[in-house]
Amino acid sequence: MPMKRKHKRLTFVMIGVSLVGVAVGLVLFALGDGVSLFHSPTDIVVKKPSPEQRVRLGGLVEEGSVLREEGSAVVQFKVTDLEHSVQVVYKGLLPDLFREGQGIVTTGKVVDGTLVAEEVLAKHDENYMPPEAVEALKQSGQWKPDDGAERMEMAK
154 binds another protein (CB under 8 A): no
96 binds another protein (CB under 8 A): yes
Q: What angle do CA 140, 145, 149 make, to 5 degrees?
A: 140
Per CB under 8 A, the segment of 44-52, 66-74, 82-90, 115-123 that binds another protein is: 115-123
**Residue (of 43, 61, 60) closest to 110 by Cα position:** 43
36 binds another protein (CB under 8 A): yes
26 binds another protein (CB under 8 A): no
129 binds another protein (CB under 8 A): yes
Task: Please enumerate in sequence order all residues whose Cβ is within 8 A of that of 61, keeping only pairs 6 or more positions apart, or say none.
Answer: 77, 78, 79, 80, 98, 99, 100, 101, 102, 104
Least Å from the CB of residue 142 to another protein? 14
Polymer length in residues for the chain: 156
Q: Report the residue from 3, 15, 16, 153 that binds another protein according to the rule CB under 8 A.
A: 16
